[in-house]
């Protein structure tokens, strides 16, 4: 079973486009029956740090690093026979694992690309986080001798305060990105340090790692003729209408990326304006009252409404 994540809008047809990610489902390695479970066994993927993301495949002679069952849980591959497991955060010791690849070709300036991948939380993961980012770079990131955070700001990131905890299904993440023209390498992971990483301990956990499976990664250019660049299904967007002092963060569920948001007070004054809203605005610090919002989706459609803040 597959879940569709926040960035997915309504379905639309596309002219078949080449996936610029080679080996999108982690199947191409030097030999079968590999005994080394690092993704360095793969032909087209590598570690951009000295972390140790895991290649999980039936060809691995080490039973704990196979699919569908492995040390970390059980999950059937989304595509093919393999997937990668990685640790983006830990409550025990610093843990940052990334996966990176060189695209088939450099992204074209001002062209729009659809980026997609699937995640599933492993059963042995005791911590979930909310921000998995995608970083495009001109050159390959060179390991710096540590397993800590890559000090870069990703162009794309999953929304704040939306935690992926489902272990039974693959959840699809989809983004739309307008290229600058230098992008040749592609890295996925958590680009925040521990103090800025939002997390939830599962089952009351105060220790343990966050661990996710990832599969079926793609980067595809949208056709020139496609006018529905950012498809939006407004029926799946959920905008809260009442907030309280104990829960004052305004989180719009299933908000497509590149959505612009404005909030007004009762006198029509703008109290918040944010392009590409990231679900981070807090009403704390503002008086209890009725406020009004305007959300402009990437396809140009607009939703307006009222939100009541209670103290």
Q: Check residue 94 and give its pLDDT.
A: 83
Shared domain for 240 and 298, answered yes or no, is yes
Q: What is the pTM of this model?
A: 0.70
Which of the residue ranges 35-39, 94-98, 237-241 would you say has the lowest mean pLDDT?
A: 35-39
Shared domain for 72 and 112, answered yes or no, is yes
- The string of pLDDT tens digits covering residues 165-184 is 899 999 988 888 888 899 99
Q: Check pLDDT > 90 for residue 159.
A: no
Shared domain for 191 and 300, answered yes or no, is no
Shared domain for 20 and 167, answered yes or no, is yes
Q: Check pLDDT > 50 for residue 266.
A: yes
Q: Which two tokens stand for residue 99?
A: 């996966």
Q: What is the CATH number of the domain that holds 211?
A: 2.60.120.260
Residue at 277 is within a domain: yes
Q: Check residue 235 and give its pLDDT.
A: 55
Shared domain for 249 and 204, answered yes or no, is no
- The string of pLDDT tens digits covering residues 26-38 is 999 877 666 667 7
Number of other residues whose CB lies within 10 A of the CB of residue 302:
10
Q: Order across the sheet with 156-157: list the strands.
A: 45-46, 99-102, 185-189, 133-137, 156-157
Shared domain for 15 and 135, answered yes or no, is yes
pLDDT band for position 59 (50/70/90)? confident
Shared domain for 195 and 253, answered yes or no, is no
Residue at 98 is within a domain: yes
Residue 218, C-beta contacts closer than 8 angstroms, at least 6 positions apart: 19, 20, 21, 24, 114, 115, 116, 117
Residue at 226 is within a domain: no
Shared domain for 131 and 72, answered yes or no, is yes
The count of domains in the chain is 2
Give the end of a domain, one of 192, 221, 250.
Answer: 221
Residue at 100 is within a domain: yes
Q: Check pLDDT > 60 for residue 201.
A: yes
| 8 A C-beta contact, residue 147 and residue 48 | no
- Pick from 145, 61, 74, 139: which is nearest to 100 by CA? 139
Shared domain for 67 and 182, answered yes or no, is yes
| 8 A C-beta contact, residue 152 and residue 189 | no
Number of other residues whose CB lies within 10 A of the CB of residue 285:
7
- The string of pLDDT tens digits covering residues 272-293 is 999 989 888 999 989 999 999 9
Shared domain for 116 and 43, answered yes or no, is yes
**Residue 130 sits in which domain range?**
2-221
Please state, in angstroms and rounded to a whole number, the distance separating the CA atoms of residues 257 and 237. 12
Q: Check residue 157 and give its pLDDT.
A: 86
Shared domain for 126 and 51, answered yes or no, is yes
Q: Check residue 236 and give its pLDDT.
A: 62
Residue at 229 is within a domain: no
Shared domain for 136 and 264, answered yes or no, is no
Q: Check pLDDT > 60 for residue 9.
A: no
Q: What is the CATH number of the domain that holds 294?
A: 2.60.40.3080
% the chain with pLDDT above 70: 86
% the chain with pLDDT above 90: 46
Q: Check residue 34 and give its pLDDT.
A: 62
Give the end of a domain, one of 221, 243, 261.
Answer: 221
Cross-strand partners of 293: 263, 305
Q: Check pLDDT > 90 for residue 207.
A: no
């Amino acid at each position: 079973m597959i879940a569709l994540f926040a960035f997915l809008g309504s379905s639309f047809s596309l002219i078949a486009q080449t996936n610029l990610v080679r080996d999108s489902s982690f199947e191409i390695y030097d030999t079968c029956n590999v005994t080394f479970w690092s993704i360095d066994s793969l032909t087209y993927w590598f570690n951009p740090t000295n972390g140790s993301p895991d290649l999980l495949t039936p060809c691995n002679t080490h039973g704990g690093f196979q699919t569908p069952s492995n040390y970390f849980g059980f999950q059937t591959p989304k595509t093919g026979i393999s997937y990668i497991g990685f640790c983006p955060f830990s409550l025990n010791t610093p843990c940052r694992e990334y996966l990176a690849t060189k695209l088939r070709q450099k992204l074209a300036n001002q062209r729009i690309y659809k980026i997609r991948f699937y995640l599933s939380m492993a059963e042995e993961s005791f911590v979930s986080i909310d921000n998995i980012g995608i970083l495009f770079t001109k050159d390959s990131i060179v390991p710096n001798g540590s397993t800590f955070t890559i000090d870069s700001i990703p162009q794309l990131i999953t929304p704040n305060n939306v935690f992926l905890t489902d272990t039974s299904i693959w959840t699809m993440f989809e983004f739309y990105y307008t290229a600058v023209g230098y992008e040749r390498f592609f890295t996925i992971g958590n680009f925040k340090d521990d103090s800025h990483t939002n997390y939830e301990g599962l089952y009351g956990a105060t220790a343990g790692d966050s661990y996710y499976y990832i599969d079926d990664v793609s980067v595809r250019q949208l056709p020139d003729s496609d006018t529905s660049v950012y498809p939006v299904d407004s029926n799946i967007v959920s905008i809260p209408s009442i907030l309280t002092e104990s829960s004052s963060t305004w989180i719009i569920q299933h908000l497509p990326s590149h959505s612009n948001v404005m909030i007004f007070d009762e006198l029509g004054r703008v109290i918040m304006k944010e392009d590409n809203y990231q679900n981070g605005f807090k009403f704390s610090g503002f008086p209890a009252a009725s406020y009004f919002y305007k959300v402009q989706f990437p396809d140009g459609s607009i939703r307006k409404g009222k939100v009541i803040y209670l103290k």
